[in-house]
Every structure is written in structure tokens, then in C-alpha cells.
Amino acid sequence: MNRIAAVVGLLAVCLNPSCDAFRTNLSHEVEDYLARYADRMQELYYEAQKAEWESNTHIVEGDTTNAARTRRANEALAAFVGSVENIERIRGFLDKRGRLTPLQVRQLEAMLYTAANAPGVVPELVSERIAAKTEQVEQLYGFEYKLNGQPITPNEIDARLRQSDDLAERLAVWRASKEVGPVLKPGLVELRRLRNETVRALGYSDFFAYQVSEYGMSSDEMLALTDRLIEQLRPLYRELHTWARYTLAERYGQPVPDMLPAHWLPNRWGQDWTALVRVEGLDLDAALADRSSQWIVEQGEEFYTSLGFEPLPGSFWELSSLYPLPPDAGYKKNTHASAWHMDLDDDVRSLMSVEPNAYWWETTLHELGHIYYYISYSRPEVPLVLREGANRAYHEGIGSLIGLASMQRGFLIGQELADPAAEVDEIRQLLQEALNYAVFIPFSAGVMTRFEHALYAEDLPPDSLNAKWWQLVRDYQGVAPPTPRGEEHADPLTKTHINDDPAQYYDYALANALLFQLHDHIAREILEQDPHDTNYWGSRETGDFLRALMEPGASRPWREVLRETTGRELDARAMVEYFQPLYDWLLEQNAGRTPTLR
């Protein structure tokens, strides 16, 4: 058959929608479109990420060049991914989804989801939102915290809250940590409006619903899930709360309070109480004190390579920003840890301020979890637009899982970070873990999730941000401000995610539940070790399990991945079971004490 005949032949059959050639023709058209979209998107995305990277790692007061570049690059990306032309084509193809492959449909759906965050039908809103976000990041990370008139870094604030036994000092440091709130308030109120209005243009009810929809869930479904986690952990949390009230009252020589005063807790938001206890023979802060920050990151990498992952690419080491800036740097950087997939391929970087202590040890492993997730799914089989986690909680869960594994005794002994001859009080160790993982749930699934839901879905008035926040903190965490905090403060906005990672904090709550499910599976089925005392180091089989989970990225439905990797629904049962021995111990400790938490 000559060429013309072939074309005519094809055209003739293509008039019949049920035949294979018709399907194939559409499929080719979609494939071609997807390939062109991916190429252009990757180019624009990389430019935007590079500009964002500069904006987050090199913040100079009064300098507008970074902001201008970031705005331009983000606008170019938004103009493409949210263009009316792209939205119409994607919708047009999705109307014929029955004739497309599941992988094509997944890509188109991911693209439509991205478009809804920057829809070309409301270009002014998109531009305003980009500018407002860039400005907010500069305000947040360019802020100079001060204690008694002297500059103090977030790392120093955190260290003092972990270590100081002096209540007056604790109060001063806690207050200093909240000073940034009011600076951020006008920007956040504006961002709330812009975030809501942009996604409404493509039919979402509000920005919270938009973010949740990435899980294929409604807001109500997500709130039911987070409520369930809180409920499952409530008995344990109630006992931890009672234990902390009595223990801290004694430590500080104060009467036992009904609600824990926020400045008594070893974290700015009371989200992590790990530092309340030291475990004799397992004191990671002490073990790390004489190591370098670089050693921490290298050792983290070695943990992953021991599981069969490749060493990190040279560009990771050259281009990341891993350590705190010297005080005389002349510029500031984002001090909150993050991992970046710059080009959706092999340019992976992390932004951290690592110091040799237990917090940064765990955080480094968390960030490297993101990095190895990026690397695992950056392969030709995974289309660019599906280079994401099975869902966002999976992405958060992997590194946290490795973080949990890295704090267990068998592992620490193997790494010469704990003395094999030392007697370790196992209940105390379990207590320390609960002060990390269980304590986090009321904050993440409760306070943060409910606050952001109120903010975006319920139109929370700007003059009740603080009242709402402290009401939630009281109800979920059983924590109270040291003194009344009126609306001249804006305490929720001191939490970085509210500004630059909005309406997604339930990811971490789900990740915590998920990581106990994964850990339980790995400990029992792969390592055949007690989940309370594992050593993942060197287990290729564990690495294979994790890689198999990560390699498909978002190209498979997450519920399917969940069933295969844990065999059960997402809930907190594995976490509750893990802490059962501690729960029994706490009941004994708290006998005769009055609980105040509902």
C-alpha cells in the first residue's frame, strides 16, 4: 500500500469510533500532546524552581532582583500549565477517557489538577498570588528574631526550648518566637483570598478542598480520617498529657496546671515533646555532639546506600544548602528543612540548617527520604507529571520511617552511636518515641488541619485568627498560652507551612500513621525483628520493598499501593499497638492523678 492509500485507509476507519484504529489514532494524538506538554512544562518548571531556590537560600533585605526573577519564572510556568488552551485540550481528551489508557488518564488528571492552581481564566489573580507568596516567603525567612534586643536564630530558639529549665528564660524565648506573626498577617489574609479565588475559577469550593482532592477525597472525608486518627490515639495522648502536666510541674516547681502552658514544652508549637525525656544509654544528642553537621548528612546517605540505594549524585552535594549560614553572611535563608526536585529529573537538592543534634539527625533522614523518593521515580517509565508520591503522605512517610528506624537501639549500636553494654530502660525509650509520634497527631490532624479548614473553607474572620488557633490548641493538644494572646498577635502564622505549604498539613498526620504500618510490616515480615528494636542497616530486602513502593511514583492509585504494602486501610492501629506497653505503664504512673483532657 502506498502512502496516500494508507492515510486514506486510516481516515476511513477512523470515522468509526469503536474500532481499534480510531482508538489508536486518538491515543497517538494524546501521546504526542502529553510529550510536548511534559517537555515544555519541565523547562518552565526548572526555571521556576531555580528562581525559587535563590529566593529561599539568598534573602537580602531590600533586594528585589530575586523576587522579580521568581515572579517572572512562576508566571511563565503558570501561564503554560494553566492556559485556557491546555485546560480545554485536557478536558477534551478526558471526555473521551474510555478510549485512553489508564496511564494517559492519570497524566491528564494530574495536569488538570495543576491547572486549577493557576487557571488562565483569571490571570490577574494568578499573578497577584505569585507575587504575594514570594513576598510572604521573604517576610517569613528574612525576619530577624530577637531575644532581649539581641538577634537569635530559629535553631537557637529551638535549642533553648529543648534545653532550658529556667521558666523566665523559656517564656522570653517562646515570646520571641511568636514575634514574626503580626508581620505575616496582612500577607496571609491576602493569600487566603487569592488561593481561594484561583481554585474557585475551576470549580473547587475552596483551597482546602482543592488540596485535599489530590487524594481523591472530599474535605469531609479527610476530616473524618484525621478525626479517626485523633480518636484512636486519644487514650494514649490523654495519659501522656497527664504525665507531662505532673512531671513538668515538678520540674519547674509549679502547681499542676489543667492545661500545659505552651512555654513549658520543648517546641515552639508543642508539636514534638521528644526533648522532655533523656534515655540513659540512648542519648543521641550527646552521641552526636562531637560530630560535624556534614557527618550527619553523610551518615544519612550511608544508611540509604546500606539499603541498596545509589549514592547521592554529585550535584546534590554541590548545589544543596545544607548548613546554617554564618552570622556575618549578609543574607538569610529559609531555615525550615525541605527537599527539592528541581527539574523533575536528576537535579535533587535539600535546603536545611543541619547541626549535630537529634532533631537534625531525624530531619536529615526525613529529607533524604524525599530525595530518594524523587530519585526512585525519575525513570523513563514514569511520566514527568506523575513524578510525585503515591500520595503526599507517602512522600512524607518514607523519610520519617527511616527516621524512626534510625532512633532504635539496634541501629544506634550498629552505628556506634549507643553503647551496647549500657542498660536501656525500654519503657523510657518508648515514652520518648511517643512524645514524638503520638504527641504530633493532635497538632497535625487536629490543630493545623482544623485551623486551615476554618481559614479556607469557613472564611475565618481576620480578627479571630488567634482566638480560633488557641481554642483548637486547647481542645486538641490541651495546651494554653502563657498569658492571654489577643488578636494583636498572629500565632498560627509563625508555623511556616501556613504561609508556604498551605492546607496540606494532614499529610504529616497520615504519614505518621502510615509509617507505623510500614514499619510493622518491615519489622515482622522482612527483618523478623521486634518492631520496638529493629536494625534496618544493610537490609537489601527492606530497600527493595521501599524501592518497589516508590518507583511507580503517582502512576498507580494510592489505595492499591497501600493495600499491597500494608495489607490494611490507613489508620492508627499499628501506632496504637506499638505503644500499648507504654500505655499500660502510663496508667500506673497516672493512678490517682486527675486527667483534664476530654
Using CB under 6 A, list all residues that contact ligand X8Z: 337-338, 363, 366, 508
- Active-site hit among 179, 497, 541, 551: 497
Residue nearest to ligand X8Z (CB): 337
571 binds, among Zn ion, ligand X8Z, none (CB under 5 to 8 A by kind): none
Catalytic one of 75, 239, 367, 433: 367
> Which grid cell is 29?
494524538
Pick the closest to residue 549 from 514, 575, 580, 579 (CA basis).
514
Residue ranges of the alpha helices (H) in 149-269?
154-163, 167-177, 180-200, 207-213, 219-252
310 an active-site residue? no
In the complex, minimum distance from the CB of residue 52 to ligand X8Z, in angstroms, rounded to a whole number? 15
CA 383, CA 37: separation in Å to the nearest integer? 11
Partner from ligand X8Z, Zn ion, none contacting 363, C-beta within 5 to 8 A by type: ligand X8Z
Please say which residue, 139 or 400, places its beta carbon nearer to Zn ion. 400
| H or E segment and range at residue 350 | strand 348-351
Interacting partner of 385 out of Zn ion, ligand X8Z, none (Cβ under 5 to 8 A depending on kind): none
CA–CA distance, 73 with 62 (Å, rounded to integer): 20
Contacts of 417 (CB under 8 A, 6+ apart): 284, 287, 288
Find the shortest distance in angstroms from Cβ 337 to Zn ion.
Answer: 7
**How near is the Cβ of 310 to Zn ion at its closest, in Å?**
21
Which of 271, 30, 325 lies closest to 155, judged by CA? 325
Nearer to ligand X8Z, 451 or 508 (CB): 508
Annotated binding residue at 370? Answer: yes
Can you tell me the distance from the alpha carbon of 478 to that of 245, in angstroms, rounded to the nearest whole number?
10
CA distance 71 to 125: 13
Least Cβ distance, residue 326 to ligand X8Z (angstroms): 23
Say which entry of Zn ion, ligand X8Z, none residue 338 contacts (CB below 5 to 8 A, set by partner kind): ligand X8Z
Nearer to ligand X8Z, 127 or 338 (CB): 338
Which of 354, 385 has the CB closer to ligand X8Z? 354
Binding-site partner at residue 337 among ligand X8Z, Zn ion, none, CB < 5 to 8 Å by type? ligand X8Z
What 3-state class would DSSP assign to 267?
A: coil
For the chain, report the end-to-end CA distance as a whole number of angstroms: 79
* Residues 375, 531: Cα–Cα separation, whole Å: 28
Is 476 annotated to bind a ligand? Reply is no
Select 399 or 478, whichever has its Cβ closest to Zn ion: 399
- Minimum CB distance to ligand X8Z smaller for 80 or for 377: 377
Q: Answer yes or no: are the C-beta atoms of 255 and 249 closer than 8 Å.
A: yes
Length of the chain: 598
Q: Which residues are 332's β-sheet partners?
A: 59
Q: Is 388 a catalytic residue?
A: no
Compare residues 396 and 433 and give the one whose CB is closer to Zn ion.
Answer: 396
Task: Tell me which residue of 370, 374, 350, 373 sits closest to 297, measured CA to CA.
Answer: 350
Report phi then psi at 479, rounded to 5.
Answer: -120, 145
Binding partner of 42, given ligand X8Z, Zn ion, none, CB within 5-8 angstroms per partner class: none
Evaluate whether 514 touches 279 at the Cβ level (below 8 Å): no
- Cβ proximity to ligand X8Z: between 494 and 517 the closer is 494
Rank residues 497 and 532 by Cβ distance to Zn ion and give the closer one: 497
Q: How far apart are CA 13 and CA 125, in angstroms?
A: 46
Is there a contact between 549 and 434 (Cβ–Cβ < 8 Å)?
no
3-state SS assignment for residue 351:
strand
Q: Which residues, in sequence order, are bridge partners of residue 340?
A: 349
Task: Compare residues 33 and 372 and give the one whose CB is closer to ligand X8Z.
Answer: 372
Q: Please, what is the minimum distance in Å from the beta carbon of residue 363 to Zn ion?
A: 9
Query: Does 58 appear as a known binding residue?
Result: no
Known binder of ligand: residue 366? yes
Q: How far is CA 427 from the centre of its chain?
A: 29
C-alpha cell at 349: 537538592
**Shortest reach from residue 75's CB to ligand X8Z, in Å:** 26
| Contacting Zn ion within 362-401 (CB under 5 A) | 396
State how far the Cα of 290 lies from the Cα of 155, in Å rounded to an integer.
17
Identify what 245 binds: ligand X8Z, Zn ion, none; CB under 5 to 8 Å per kind: none
Using CB positions, name the residue nearest to Zn ion.
396
Helix, strand, or coil (residue 138):
helix
Show Cβ contacts of residue 239 under 8 Å, excluding neighbours closer than 6 positions: 583, 586, 587, 590, 595
Residue 574 CB-half CA count within 13 A: 24
Binding-site size, Zn ion (CB under 5 A): 1
Nine-digit cell string for 363: 530531619
State in angstroms the smallest separation of the CB of 558 from ligand X8Z: 18
Continuous H helices in 63-101: 65-81, 84-95
CB of 201 to ligand X8Z, least distance (A): 28
Minimal distance, residue 336 CB to ligand X8Z, in Å: 6
What does the radius of gyration of the chain's CA atoms come to, in whole angstroms?
25
Asked whether 339 and 371 are in contact (CB, 8 A), the reply is yes
Q: At what angle do helices 3-14 and 20-57 cross, to 10 degrees?
A: 90
CB of 272 to ligand X8Z, least distance (A): 8
Q: Which residues are catalytic?
A: 367, 497
Binding residues: 215, 366, 370, 396
List of residues contacting Zn ion (CB under 5 A): 396
Binding residues for Zn(2+): 366, 370, 396
Binding residues for chloride: 215
